[in-house]
Amino acid sequence: MENFAVIDLGSNSCRMTITQIQADGSYTVTHRLKEMVRLSENENATDTPTLQTDAIDRTITALKSFSAVYKDLPNLNIKAVATAATRKASNQKKFLKRVKNEVGLDIEVIPGTTEAYYDYLGVVNTLPTTNCVMVDTGGGSCELVLIVNGQAKELISLPIGAVSLSEKFGLNDQVTASQLFKTMTFVDKIFNSVWWLRNGLNLPLVCLGGSNRTLAKINRRKCNILNFEDIHGYRLRDNAIYDTFNTVISQDAAGRAAIPGLAKDRADIIVGGMIPAISLMRFLDSDRMIFSQNGLREGILFEHLTTLAEQNAKVSD
């Protein structure tokens, strides 16, 4: 039996999943932990992206709390990855060295395309996604994958996310029409630069990331659905999505924090977090979203399970 821990250090949150894997390949998820660390906060305050001391301190504290959970587990295997905020930070090496010294953890900074591929693995192994466009909106980046006949045909990571857009365009509190127009125009131009996106016209969107999942949670709460946070495979039509987005942008931060299904610690970045998927839906003339609870961490798990299966097959031969 192996305890396989996956740590995903994003721009907004730090998450960990621990899975017990048996010798026959069966597995059980034993832990799911999340801390909102806002690692990318004020990272772009200067011309050179730099992780700020307060954000680093919050992240170190979160990683130490994770360590307390896994440190005594037998046969432990850890894969820790960092994404957009760490990827672009000028003080990346200094930050990773501090994590190693204080937590004893080696973190791999993965390229955006690798992040997108892990998202794809997490989705295709748990949802019937034959033809679609997958979008994962994080704190500092947005991963897109064109899935054709179940295969990742094209993938890319774009430098737009909930925290970065909110800070760049001042979307943290009340949002004006001018701010909204400027933000969506900025995002539309980025989508226009991705030549293969037009091949996804009229396809459904498969949505990952906390901001996108919030769209589903708000609607499930509105419909009084039990276990409203269980959104895996949940579908929404375009009209319901646009109505929800309209509700969110019409409120200031305090008003958004009071919306059922919207986590209070996302109230200041939720507008920026929803805009990429909303803009993409309009860009592709898509009429529905399908939500996935699984993404990068699950993709890493499925890759690991495949490797174990291949190793076992070689031993059997």
Residues 179, 280: one domain?
Answer: yes
74 to each of 4, 130, 229, how far by Cα in Å?
10, 39, 31
* Closest to 97 in 3D by CA, of 85, 107, 111: 107
Coil, strand or helix at 235: strand
Residues 250, 282: one domain?
Answer: yes
d(CA 160, CA 120) in angstroms, rounded, equals 19
CATH number of the domain where residue 14 is located: 3.30.420.40
CATH number of the domain where residue 275 is located: 3.30.420.150
Residues 150, 237: one domain?
Answer: yes
- Count of the separate structural domains present in the chain: 2
Is the separation of the CB atoms in 84 and 305 below 8 Å?
no
Residues 95, 53: one domain?
Answer: yes
* β-bridge mates for residue 14, sequence order: 9, 35
Has residue 317 been placed in a domain?
A: no
Residues 185, 252: one domain?
Answer: yes
Residues 222, 281: one domain?
Answer: yes
Residues 171, 208: one domain?
Answer: yes
Has residue 119 been placed in a domain?
A: no
Residues 19, 152: one domain?
Answer: no
Q: What is the pTM of this model?
A: 0.94
> Which structural domain range is residue 271 located in?
127-296
Axis crossing angle, helix 238-249 with helix 210-222, rounded to the nearest 10: 100
Per-residue pLDDT of the chain (317 residues; tens, 9 = 90+): 999 999 999 999 999 999 999 988 899 999 999 999 999 999 988 889 999 999 999 999 999 999 999 999 999 999 999 999 999 999 999 999 999 999 999 999 999 999 999 999 999 999 988 999 999 999 999 999 999 999 999 999 999 999 999 999 999 999 999 999 999 999 999 999 999 999 999 999 999 999 999 999 999 999 888 778 889 999 999 999 999 999 999 999 999 999 999 999 999 999 999 999 999 999 999 999 999 999 999 999 999 999 988 888 777 66
Has residue 218 been placed in a domain?
A: yes
